[in-house]
Amino acid sequence: MNQYKISEYYNPYVYIWLLTITAMILLIIIIGGLTRLTNSGLSMTDWRPVLGIFPPLTYENWTKVFEMYKQSPEFKIVNKNITLNEFKYIFWWEWFHRLFARLIGLVFLIPLFYFILKKQISRILFLRIIIVFIFGVFQAFVGWWMVKSGLNENPYVSPYRLTFHLLNALIIFSFLLWISLDYRSSIKINFLSKPFSSDFYILSSIVLVFITIASGGFMAGTNSGQSFNTFPLMNGKVIPDDYFIDGLGFYNIFENTVAINFNHRWLSIFTFFYILFVCFKFIKFNDKVAFLNVFFVIIFISLQVILGIITLLSNVYLPIASMHQTNSILLLASLLICYHQFKFRKAKND
């Protein structure tokens, strides 16, 4: 087995730290989804990286931030009748989202400095962690860039920026999970695979899930899920009217709510059958660990389709929609774990 050491020796505290950050990234993706579902993302109209941790607590401070919100297009066009108490509800969601992001930064940096001082981090692991850090800092700026798109004339955030923000979070989550799996195995496993090899088909399943989640980002960003709340037909048709609007051309995929809704639902169904095919064709059920890995993939992909259909039929009922978003990340995680385990065993046998 061609081993590539990730650390001088395995330290369970470093492993727990890596898993903790990974879990926190999962949580902030869920919190970000809830912030979107509650339409809370534009409630804070400024970005103060340090002082923003302090919420308004006095009536005067609440009045001040509410007056700032009243200058936003969302208030003027969408929420002009909102009360102070209703504003507090959406404000707390966005504030907690930003606070949790800062907390991730602290949990990331403080133990990292400690492990470096104690020489518990190898050069290879340090370089990979620095890449994660760069993505994390970038994510903070992308978040504010996304919010700014809804603070001009348009009272809605750009679905392009929202989806980019989501995908960057998924990249951070996936990279951290992969680093954690490598660290636990004490080797570095190459993420890429040779085309049309058995592990390539598992990798393509992961890519398909990424693309499907991205299409879900456009569903959320354009509120496409609140139209055509039937399944499998859309307005009584397999292919709905206005799927293609001449003026949009290629951008129908990203801006036409009919096309976005249609593409997401059928891309999800294709991903479902493709992953089932890969599980039974290429992954061997030769022991309990492999069986459990595949079992969780099948459970999560099946649950994802069921939750997606219920989300549509319920007109994007918030608890179901949040479960649908959360389960998509769990599906991605289960595939990554399965893929890593598959490649690890393959490397052991080489």
Q: What is the pLDDT of residue 142?
A: 96
56 and 119 together in one domain: yes
216 and 148 together in one domain: no
> Domain end: 188, 209, 234, which one?
188
> Domain end: 160, 188, 216, which one?
188
201 and 108 together in one domain: no
325 and 234 together in one domain: yes
31 and 147 together in one domain: yes
Q: Show the domain range for 303.
A: 193-350
Give pTM, 2 decimals: 0.94
157 and 33 together in one domain: yes
244 and 137 together in one domain: no
Q: What is the pLDDT of residue 348?
A: 74
88 and 178 together in one domain: yes
Average pLDDT of adjacent 10-residue blocks, the chain of 350 residues:
53 96 98 95 90 90 96 94 96 96 97 95 94 97 95 92 97 97 87 88 96 97 92 92 92 96 97 94 73 92 97 96 97 96 80
262 and 345 together in one domain: yes
109 and 214 together in one domain: no
Q: What is the pLDDT of residue 4?
A: 45
329 and 301 together in one domain: yes
SS3 for the chain, per residue? CCCCCCCCCCCHHHHHHHHHHHHHHHHHHHHHHHHHHCCCCCCCCCCCCCHHHCCCCCHHHHHHHHHHHHCCHHHHHHCCCCCHHHHHHHHHHHHHHHHHHHHHHHHHHHHHHHHHHCCCCCHHHHHHHHHHHHHHHHHHHHHHHHHHCCCCCCCCCCHHHHHHHHHHHHHHHHHHHHHHHHHHHCCCCCCCCCCCCHHHHHHHHHHHHHHHHHHHHHHHHHCHHHCCCCCCCECCECCCCCCCCCCCHHHHHHHCHHHHHHHHHHHHHHHHHHHHHHHHHHCCCCCHHHHHHHHHHHHHHHHHHHHHHHHHHCCCCHHHHHHHHHHHHHHHHHHHHHHHHHHHHHHHHC
> Domain end: 169, 188, 207, which one?
188
Q: What is the pLDDT of residue 151?
A: 93
210 and 167 together in one domain: no
Q: How many domains does the chain have?
A: 2
Query: What percentage of the chain reaches a pLDDT higher than 70?
Result: 96
